[in-house]
Amino acid sequence: MSILEALLVGLDEARRHLGQTLLSLLGLVLGTGSIVTVLALFGGQTKQTEAFIIEQGGFGAIIVYDREESLQPTPMELASRRLTYRDAAYLKDHATMLKGVAPGYFDRHGYRVGDMDFEGDVIGTTSDYAMINAIFPMAGRYISDLDVRRQARVMVLGWAYADSLFKGRPELALDKIVNLGGKNYTVVGVMEREEFYWAPWSGNALAHRNRRAYIPITTAFSQYTGENDRLDFLTLKAITPTGGPAAEAQVHQMMLSMHGVEDFDIQPLGQRNADDAQFFLMFNIIFLIVGLISLFAGGVVIANILLASVAERVREFGTRMALGASGFQVFAQVIAQVSVISIFGGLLGLGLGAALTGAVAHFMSQPAAVTGSMAAVALGTSLAVGAVAGFYPAFRAARLSPVEALRYG
Amino acid sequence: MALLEARDITKIYRLGRVDVPALRGVDLDVQQGEYVAILGPSGSGKSTLMHILGCLDSATDGSYRLGGTDVGTLRGRALARVRNRKVGFVFQTFNLMPRLTVEENVALPLQYRGGYTRRERRGRAGVVLERLGMSHRVGHRPEELSGGERQRVAIARALVGEPAILLVDDPTGNLDSKAGAEVLETFREVHAAGNTIVLVTHDPNVADEADRIVHMIDGRVAA
């Protein structure tokens, strides 16, 4: 018997035992459907995490921090000047794997315009910061190299600060004076509003980027730190989006030779902020477990039904053997029957999964789609469950002694 | 040379620790075209002998040649092949597949033989059913047939593969006397067409149909 013929026989068997077939199908359909849904949601989540990373400067953006001091620092650690502006300057001149270097000062100061005042974040940095973090001014310009060289008293406002300081008219901030920590600055730019939502009900994951102002890092040092050039962070960008790891390795090696001790941590920028995705991952894992349990239950049901069906049909198998069926052909007959059920179960499950995915994507506004590889995984799983469940009953049928089988019942 | 040559066939069943001999050295020759009845009471070993002659079971000892092939040494798949090509079985209880049509039932041995398209199988089944006067029943299911008709379908199934020998197990045991007589008439016709038949029965009247009667008792051929 060819495979096609075996499947046709299997289809016939499945049709003739419709009740058994439907019961077996149910388990497979639920299991496969659930797995397809999880894979699709998971795929959607991965895409969204990617989108989030790109929104924040894309792949290849790197951030360097001071590592926390040891409880009992070694002399080398104590001697190190930690992360400084000089590190940034050195990397800018010598690191061949980087296309951007932006040293960072971070602190909180009082903001004041007229009768409006509050305390908020300030970032002191250089022109590369905008490129590295993929942020753009909606009016005016960002910090320039000239601002940095001249220690200019200029400021670029984040959208939310411009909005609150200038009463809902952020575009009016340009060329106005803002008092920051007791010093006056001229506003030369207002940044675009940045937003990213993991789901409609979750808040803006990038809101913090709108609540800050940028000033030249040299100005920050001269106005607030008393010429101390210690950095709070250092952001970098690799020359290509995929060049992150290579750039990290080069930076690591150069920093180590400058500091003489590993008192810094290097991380991809996107990864640091993608933790929100973990929450969704947990949901997906729960779904996946439910799917696997359904499939397992489906498999047990199939095995059980097939065993009963084999026991019921012992005489039939004996007759078939008397007519010339080999043990293998009897085995193939049972396996063909379960294969047909598995294929149908897989396909129906795929349909259910696609429908569920569509519903979830629609009602929870989650990006999710069933791809070819997911379909292949789902069908493969269904077939595998069927094969495992069908193997023992098929083996039992094939091992029957024709004489005893004919006497049976 | 005889079509069927069984020499000193012994079959011992092991029940727990006890050996139960079912056949104690049976010799049997059947010639091409012969109609032989094996007659004996239940427990005489006639069914065991039929199973061995039909390659459903193998002898514990002795040699068995069917159509010149030593089948006593064959096992598993090879034995299934011999059953399929050289033996046609007719059972007391018909053993038709209840969910298959008459035509599908008759074509079944050809399906296991392979090499035939569905169309060819149906064609050959149709020819045999026609020969046995059952062509008006091709699309019916066994449950829609009378006992005698079912047995004739079973005979058609046994003949469809043109086997060397027809092995028949008490074919009238489940039939009333009229249907039984019709079935026996069918065997006479089949035999007249040149087929070799070995029929097992405990009914002397049925055995009388055959050219030759082999009496069995206690696992031996009675002299």
Q: Domain ranges in chain B?
A: 33-57+74-221
Residue A309, chain B, CB below 8 Å: the answer is no
Structural Rg of chain B based on CA atoms: 17
CB-CB under 8 Å, B97 with A327: no
Q: At what angle do helices A18-55 and A276-312 cross, to 10 degrees?
A: 170
Domain span at residue A119? 68-262
Minimum Cα–Cα distance from B98: chain A residue:
A316
A contacts of B85 (beta carbons < 8 Å):
324
pLDDT score of A276: 55
In the chain, the amino acid numbered B89 is F
CA distance B146 to B150: 6
User: For residue A105, which of A161, A144, A54, A148 has the smallest C-alpha distance?
Assistant: A148
- A39 with A105, same domain? no
DSSP secondary structure string for all residues of B110-174? HHHH-S--HHHHHHHHHHHHHHTT-GGGTT--GGGS-HHHHHHHHHHHHHTT--SEEEEE-TTTT
- A315 with A395, same domain? yes
CB-CB under 8 Å, A326 with B89: no
- A162 with A246, same domain? yes
CB-CB under 8 Å, B109 with A323: yes
- A133 with A93, same domain? yes
B contacts of A327 (beta carbons < 8 Å):
76-77, 80
Share of chain B above pLDDT 90, in %: 75
Among A262, A288, A308, where does a domain finish?
A262
Residue A186, chain B, CB below 8 Å: the answer is no
Residue A50 distance to chain B (closest CA, Å) = 56
pLDDT score of A271: 60
A contacts of B95 (beta carbons < 8 Å):
315, 318-319, 322, 406
- A83 with A210, same domain? yes
Helix or strand or coil: residue B43?
coil
CB-CB under 8 Å, A323 with B97: no
pLDDT score of B185: 93
Residue A383 distance to chain B (closest CA, Å) = 25
Plot region of B37 (φ>0 → left; ψ -120 to 50 → alpha; else → beta): beta
Residue B213 distance to chain A (closest CA, Å) = 24
Q: Element (H or E) spanning B193, and its range?
A: none
Residues 6+ apart with CB under 8 A from A312: none
- A129 with A252, same domain? yes
Residues 6+ apart with CB under 8 A from A91: A98, A101, A234, A236, A251, A254, A255
CB-CB under 8 Å, A315 with B95: yes
CB-CB under 8 Å, A329 with B99: no
Number of domains in chain A: 2
Mean pLDDT over the full length of chain B: 91
DSSP secondary structure string for all residues of B89-102? EE-TT----TTS-H
Residue B89 distance to chain A (closest CA, Å) = 7
- Residue A268 maps to a domain: no
pLDDT score of B184: 94
Q: Which among B85, B91, B112, B141 is the top mutation candidate for probing chain A, defined by the most A β-carbons within 10 Å of its own β-carbon?
A: B112
Give pLDDT tens digits for B100-110: 899 999 999 99
pLDDT score of A290: 75
What letter would DSSP give residue B175?
S
A contacts of B22 (beta carbons < 8 Å):
none
pLDDT score of A280: 61
- A302 with A402, same domain? yes
- A42 with A152, same domain? no
Surface-to-core class of residue A324, CB atoms within 10 Å of its CB (0-12 exposed, 13-18 middle, 19+ buried): buried
pLDDT score of A292: 78
- Residue A267 maps to a domain: no
**Is the confidence at residue B220, as pLDDT, over 60?**
yes
CB-CB under 8 Å, B81 with A320: no
Long-range contacts of A204-208 (CB under 8 A, 24+ apart): A205/A52, A205/A273, A205/A276, A206/A55, A206/A56, A207/A160, A208/A121
pLDDT score of B73: 81
The token duo for A180 is: 């920051």
CA distance B72 to A66: 86
Residue B158 distance to chain A (closest CA, Å) = 8
| Residue at token pair 């009897």 | A330
- Residues of chain B with a CB closer than 8 angstroms to some CB in chain A: 51, 54, 56-57, 76-77, 80-81, 83-85, 89, 91, 95, 97, 99, 108-109, 111-114, 157, 161
Give pLDDT tens digits for A114-167: 888 899 999 999 999 988 888 899 989 999 999 999 999 999 999 999 898 888
Minimum Cα–Cα distance from B108: chain A residue:
A323
Minimum Cα–Cα distance from A1: chain B residue:
B114
- A281 with A253, same domain? no
Among A262, A294, A311, where does a domain finish?
A262
pLDDT score of A309: 74
Minimum Cα–Cα distance from A9: chain B residue:
B111
- Residue A240 maps to a domain: yes
Give pLDDT tens digits for A225-240: 876 788 888 999 988 8
Minimum Cα–Cα distance from B75: chain A residue:
A326
Q: Is the dihedral of CA A221, A231, A139, A113 positive or negative?
A: negative
CB-CB under 8 Å, B112 with A323: yes
- Residue A217 maps to a domain: yes
- Please, what's the b/e burial string for B149-175 (b: 16 or more CB within 10 A of its CB; e: otherwise)? bbbbbbbbbbbbbebbbbbbbbbbeeb
User: Taking a contact as any Cβ pair under 8 Å apart, which residues of chain A between 79 and 108 contact chain B?
Assistant: none
Domain B33-57+74-221 has CATH 3.40.50.150: no
CA distance A56 to A54: 5
CA distance A271 to A84: 24
How is the beta sheet containing B220-221 ordered, strand by strand?
A: B87-90, B165-169, B197-201, B35-39, B212-217, B220-221
User: In a structure prediction context, what are the per-residue pLDDT tens digits for chain A, which is 409 residues long?
Assistant: 556 666 777 777 777 778 777 877 887 788 788 778 877 877 777 777 777 777 777 778 888 888 887 778 788 777 777 888 888 888 889 888 888 999 999 999 999 988 888 999 999 999 999 888 888 999 899 999 999 999 999 999 999 998 988 888 888 888 999 999 889 999 999 999 988 887 777 788 888 889 999 999 999 988 888 767 888 889 999 888 778 888 888 888 888 888 888 888 888 876 655 555 566 667 667 777 877 787 787 778 777 777 777 777 888 889 999 999 988 888 888 888 788 888 888 888 888 888 888 887 777 766 777 788 878 888 888 888 888 888 888 898 888 888 888 887 6
**What is the 3 state secondary structure string of chain A?**
CCHHHHHHHHHHHHHHCHHHHHHHHHHHHHHHHHHHHHHHHHHHHHHHHHHHHHHCCCCCEEEEEECCCCCCCCHHHHHCCCCEHHHHHHHHHHCCCEEEEEEEEEEEEEEEECCEEEEEEEEEECCHHHHHHCCCEEEECCCCHHHHHHCCCEEEECHHHHHHHCCCCHHHHCCCEEEECCEEEEEEEEECCCCCCCCCCCCCCCHHHHCCEEEEHHHHHHHHHCCCCECCEEEEEECCHHHHHHHHHHHHHHHHHHHCCCCEEEEEHHHHHCCHHHHHHHHHHHHHHHHHHHHHHHHHHHHHHHHHHHHHCHHHHHHHHHCCCCHHHHHHHHHHHHHHHHHHHHHHHHHHHHHHHHHHHHHCCCCCCCCHHHHHHHHHHHHHHHHHHHHHHHHHHHCCCHHHHHHCC
CB A186 within 8 A of CB A219: no
- A389 with A293, same domain? yes
User: For residue A236, which of A95, A137, A141 has the smallest C-alpha distance?
Assistant: A95
User: For residue A407, which of B57, B41, B151 has the smallest C-alpha distance?
Assistant: B57
pLDDT score of A283: 66
- A348 with A281, same domain? yes
User: For residue A209, which of A99, A52, A49, A103 has the smallest C-alpha distance?
Assistant: A52
Residue A399 distance to chain B (closest CA, Å) = 10
pLDDT score of A198: 74
Residue A259, chain B, CB below 8 Å: the answer is no
Minimum Cα–Cα distance from B163: chain A residue:
A323
Give pLDDT tens digits for B110-152: 988 988 988 999 999 999 999 999 999 999 999 999 999 999 9
Among A262, A288, A311, where does a domain finish?
A262
**Is the confidence at residue B20, as pLDDT, over 70?**
yes
Q: How far apart, in Å, are the Cα atoms of A272 and each of A243, A393, B71, B120?
A: 18, 52, 76, 70
- A111 with A208, same domain? yes
Q: Which among A17, A323, A333, A406 is the top mutation candidate for probing chain B, defined by the most B β-carbons within 10 Å of its own β-carbon?
A: A323
pLDDT score of A30: 81
CB-CB under 8 Å, A403 with B56: yes
- Residue A320 maps to a domain: yes
pLDDT score of A31: 78
The token duo for A255 is: 């920093």
CB-CB under 8 Å, A316 with B97: yes
